[in-house]
Amino acid sequence: MAQQMSAMFQYMQSIGAPLPPSGLFPGLPPVPVPPPHVTPQGTPVTLQHDPLFKRSLTVLRKNSDADLVELVSTWGHMHEFGDMYWLPGQCKVLLGQIDRVDVSTPGDGLKQAFFPPWPISDIVHERSQEDQLQELGSNNALHGVGSCIFSPEYGHEVYVWNPRIIETFVHDSAVSVTLADVPAFVSDLMQLWDRNPKAFCTLDLHLGILFRYIKGSTAYLGKTHDSVEFDLIYYRSREPGRPIMHADLIDEIEQITLYKNAGLPHWGKNQNYIFNDTVGRFPRLREFLDVKARFDPDGVISSQWSDQILGINGSPIISAPGCAIEGLCTGTQNSDCARGYVCSQGKVYPDARG
């Protein structure tokens, strides 16, 4: 095993990959800090890794969201990895008090998925209820993302996204707004809530609205300023073209974020229309494409989808009857929306359509 690990480290050094911290694997010699690596094109690249650390997580519950505007604007400055969930249907906020601690702090460093394993019968029943509601109105000691799909009692309990059952099926939208624009954006959300509080209950079914803080970056496709990312998870029908409850509210929230506040999409989530005009939203995207053309001239890591959202060839927008229901377009005409419905303007943001 030690010989295999040493060979792996040598290979990682040869390709310029970052190495794990010294001492992480007992029995192996210390990992040397590599000198600046020179790529085949002759460009020097210096690699550096951060010291190993753990994160301490405490979830606090606030039984009032009266100070939400101020809270969203300040919480990210108070905790290095802080986040929060706003449950608008209950007027409550869950605060993630997450901070860096020394690696010697007791604990496995295990990051459990926020959604624990549930009994299969409960998951199937909940999905059935949510369908009806639309009509009526293994690495087990250290995880970086989440737990594995199998619970110890697999066969009786699974995670809600397990495709082996009639599991949850959702849309997941995530768009970031600069920290400076957050107060105005959250104020718009509160105005929407004032107009129809019950409509927000559809978001509470999937833990409300998640607020995550992102540091500004010089990365080609990164956020140019300190930002807050707003993450919406909401019901998606398995029947194409079927309307969902309070879709107009969700459309308006997404479009307030995207258009009114010049939001930036999360690259790994979202529906087609949210990726429209990425060239205009990411000022260094052209530089990224130049680098991509040099390192991947044959398009090995490209696809039709990536070419569309990066503005290389084609468009992510698909105009067809009912296209707004699946987020393939913005509902600019009635035929874009569900049959028998009309596309109307937003209640707080008149330019929104849904």
pLDDT band at 216 (very low <50, low <70, confident <90, very high): very high
pLDDT for res 163: 56
Mode of pairing for the β-strands spanning 264-265 and 170-178:
antiparallel
What is d(CA 36, CA 46) in angstroms, rounded to the nearest whole number? Answer: 4
What is d(CA 122, CA 254) in angstroms, rounded to the nearest whole number? Answer: 30
Please state the rounded mean pLDDT for residues 94-112: 85
Would you tell me how many other CB atoms lie within 10 Å of the CB of residue 164? 9
pLDDT for res 238: 79
Whole-Å CA distances, 267 to 34, 254, 271: 31, 15, 10
CA angle 266, 173, 318 (to 5 degrees): 90
Half-sphere exposure of 6 (CA within 13 A, CB side): 8
- Predicted confidence (pLDDT) per residue in 43-60, tens digit: 677 888 888 889 998 999
* Least confident segment among 14-23, 109-118, 190-199, 336-345: 14-23
CA angle 253, 99, 87 (to 5 degrees): 30
- Sorted by sequence, the CB contacts under 8 Å of residue 220 that are 6+ apart come out as 282, 284, 285, 287, 288, 291
Residue 17 pLDDT > 70, yes or no?
no
Residue that is written with structure tokens 């067809």 in the block: 320
pLDDT for res 156: 55
Answer with the residue of higher pLDDT: 217 or 19: 217
- Predicted confidence (pLDDT) per residue in 133-190, tens digit: 554 444 444 444 444 444 454 455 555 555 555 556 788 899 999 999 999 999 999 9
pLDDT band at 40 (very low <50, low <70, confident <90, very high): low
Q: Which residues pair with 62 in a beta bridge?
A: 93
pLDDT for res 185: 96
What is d(CA 172, CA 115) in angstroms, rounded to the nearest whole number? Answer: 15
- Amino acid identity, residue 299? G
Contact 266, 216 (CB under 8 A): no
What is d(CA 62, CA 64) in angstroms, rounded to the nearest whole number? Answer: 5
Sheet strand arrangement including 209-214: 54-62, 92-101, 83-87, 209-214, 227-235, 170-178, 264-265
| pTM score of the predicted model | 0.74
- Average pLDDT, whole number, for the chain? 80
DSSP H/E element including 25: none
pLDDT band at 129 (very low <50, low <70, confident <90, very high): low
Answer with the residue of higher pLDDT: 129 or 297: 297
- Sorted by sequence, the CB contacts under 8 Å of residue 354 that are 6+ apart come out as 247, 248, 250, 251, 252, 255, 324, 331, 337, 343, 344, 346
Contact 214, 176 (CB under 8 A): yes
pLDDT band at 1 (very low <50, low <70, confident <90, very high): very low
Half-sphere exposure of 134 (CA within 13 A, CB side): 15
Domains, in order of start, for the chain: 2-45 (no CATH), 54-270 (3.30.70.2520)
- Predicted confidence (pLDDT) per residue in 278-327, tens digit: 988 999 999 999 999 998 999 888 999 999 999 999 999 999 999 998 89
Answer with the residue of higher pLDDT: 86 or 145: 86
What are residue 157's phi and psi, to 5 degrees? -130, 140
